[in-house]
Structure 1
């Protein structure tokens, strides 16, 4: 089982963290997926896509079919806009549970659907807050877990 990190070359907020990860030791070139380059470090795979991430449905299944590797979890490195319009750093599950069938989806997704949250989301959010505070990014940046409700 592998962890698939997904970045898009069209988003600096995505490719920046991906580049920082790839600068760490242990990475080497991995298999390609539909012309997208990937990198391997132990059980982690990082794939760089040219498309916007919200268009990448069933990426786990496509990876499994192309490589034979089962995907345990997918982590998308991406930019978001907080409802407050303040700069924000966030960790959250994907989905739009607050959108009803027939409503306009501004950022993609499926109305009324959300992925189950990763059990590590709480510790990741606390670590993100600690890192943001140590780099004096707060209070300019909100550190939040996005939960869409009505």
Structure 2
């Protein structure tokens, strides 16, 4: 089993970490994929360099296995980070778009109702980024944060993005990727882009009831999103304890009641981010 690290030559925040890794001892040229994707090998790690936007490169896991015969067990994508606030940041996040309606076209890859299993390195890597940022005196100028899932590319293997603001050049994101896995994970539910304000989910209740909500009549894609996130998270952490964090400020009372009841029906306990990170 191999790890795929994925970088794009169109993005300095992606190529700088890739080049820093390739400067280390032990890399050799590897197989190529259709579309001009080059690779380099170092023990059980494969680094892919391609010239398209990362969110456009669907099913790299399948394409790699078909081209090389090697099975892979995780993907780590290096990418730039942009924000409306223009505040520089180091971020990590899982990938997927479980919340849009079927038939909608997500603006940044993926498909409605889909999420990749979250890479178990997300928690350890976030803690590493915080440590690196503090040692380089980047805090509080730089935000070190976990983002909600919000784009592609499609894959069925555990995946994560490491995103770096372009002004940073990418260097602090290059650390020791060999980190231990933690078999406890938090499922974030709520509105917004950054955790703990997670990805938006659609809930529709014609009655807008203030009383105990009837989950059978509330429409929208919220059940689809929660079920997909739970399913893929469970597949990435077999035997792990999965909890959900419900961002209270993101929902009205009837929405909170419905989600809480739905989580209880699925035996998903509610926790807090600090329980994990």
- TM-score of the two chains, using structure 2 as the length reference: 0.51
Alignment gaps of 5+ in structure 2:
149-197, 201-277
For residues 46-90 of structure 1, give each alpha carbon's deviation from its aligned partner in whole angstroms, at most 9, with x where no partner exists. Answer: 010011111111110000000000011111111132464421111
- 1:19, 1:143 → 2: CA distance? 23
| Aligned equivalent of 1:39 | 40
| Aligned equivalent of 2:126 | 125
**Matched positions, count:** 150
- TM-score of the two chains, using structure 1 as the length reference: 0.91
- 1:134, 1:52 → 2: CA distance? 31
| Aligned equivalent of 1:9 | 9
Secondary structure of residue in 1 paired with 2:4: strand
Q: Is the 8 A contact 2:105 2:111 kept in 1?
A: no
RMSD between aligned alpha carbons? Answer: 1.7
Shift of the 97–86 alpha-carbon distance from structure 1 to 2, 3 Å rule, reads farther
Larger Rg, first or second structure (1 or 2) = 2
Secondary structure of residue in 1 paired with 2:82: coil
| Aligned equivalent of 1:76 | 77
Superposition map of 1:37-116 within 5 A: 37-82=38-83, 84-101=85-102, 105-116=106-117
With CA pairs under 8 Å and 6+ residues apart, which has the higher RCO, 1 or 2?
1
Q: CA deviation at 1:39?
A: 0.4
- 2:81, 2:97 → 1: CA distance? 13
Alignment gaps of 5+ in structure 1:
none
Q: CA deviation at 1:103?
A: 5.1
